Amino acid sequence: MARLFKFLLAAGLVLAVVVVGLYIIPSDQYIFLPDKARPLAPYVTVKGEKPDRDGGGIYYVAVEVKKASLLEKLFHGLHEGSTLVPAAAVKAPGQSDKQHQAEELQAMAESQDIGPAVALRSLGYKVPVTSPGTVIAAVDPKGPSAGKLKANDVIVSVDGTPTPFLPALRRAIGKRTPGQPVKLEVKHDGKVSTVEVKTTSDPKDKKRPIIGVLTSCALQQATKIDLPVPVHIDLGQVGGPSAGLAFALDVAEKLGRDVDRGHRVVATGEICLDGTVAPVGGLKQKTIGARRAGADVFLVPAGENAQEARRYAGKMRVIPVNSYRQALRALATLR
């Protein structure tokens, strides 16, 4: 009996060491985990802000992203709402974790400028913005720009017309008939060159010319936003651009517009200077985080993001939006 006890004890110790080892040793994949939504009020300061007397509030929601351990990779159901993803889905090839974190913090810093700018414009303020061009996020490998343009290139002008922002880029290309070429002034790695690209028809609108690129809400280093009202936002080490929509809503709320109307409003979505709301990642985890915070409504980018959110929302109401104005209209109709 004593020998059996010693054997079981030894086996238990070995098993414990193995389990601890598997939990400590990192794998080659990452894991997304839900993080509870939090109110923005303590982290956003606006000069001249007014107290919110009807309760509710604007909330942001993040996703905990970390290297998955070998144990989490083998048993990825250990955490509720977790998702195991390959490293390529988190960071660029050859990019270190430190470089990726710096990139995410930069995206957060940009959203802290863009969100307030969009909110102040909607309230009637003049917000001067200077930008050297529109950033390309991705290039359609089967489109006319393939092999000529690359992600992170900046389109400075189209046929001599400056394109500091996406609307200007669309207007300039829209002057052509599908099939006609356009001359693009493009900045790549600091050097500017002229590239000719033949337009093609938009699959969704045959009369609309496109060049087969996806644009980004990202700002250039030379972009300057002059806010007429001082705004300070500090979320610490939280990175990424997905709190942009929430920032815009909270700034408007603090300046006297009753945005939340007494509801707990959780919002996610990258916001562009023209007020467009762009898709973000981690909707499964963000929806669970919003639900855990007792949200009344969850504002998310329309399309696949909204579809993903509805899978995990339970009884929480999900409102898909394409723009900041649409978000304001949707909240204004809440009972």
What's residue 22's pLDDT? 47
Which run of H or E residues covers position 161?
strand 161-162
Q: What is the CA radius of gyration of the chain?
A: 23
User: How many helices (H) and strands (E) would you count in the chain?
Assistant: 8, 22
The two structure tokens encoding residue 2? 């004593």
Specify the amino acid at residue 11. A
Full-prediction pTM beyond 0.85?
no
Tens digit of each residue's pLDDT, the chain (335 residues): 666 555 555 555 555 554 454 445 666 788 889 999 999 999 999 999 988 777 889 999 999 888 877 666 666 666 778 888 888 888 878 888 888 888 899 999 999 999 999 999 999 999 998 888 888 888 999 999 999 999 889 999 999 999 988 888 989 999 999 999 999 999 988 899 999 999 999 988 889 999 999 887 877 667 889 999 999 999 998 999 999 999 999 999 999 999 999 999 999 999 988 899 999 999 999 999 999 999 999 999 999 999 999 999 999 999 999 999 999 999 999 87
Rounded distance, CA 189 to CA 205, Å? 33
What's residue 248's pLDDT? 98
Candidates 289, 287, 285, 311; CA nearest to 300 is 287
Domains of the chain, earliest start first: 33-88+95-126+229-332 (3.30.230), 129-215 (2.30.42.10)
Candidates 185, 129, 139, 195; CA nearest to 162 is 185
Which 3-state string (H, E, C) describes 7-52? Answer: HHHHHHHHHHHHHHHHHHCEEEEEEEEECCCEECHHHEEECCCCCC
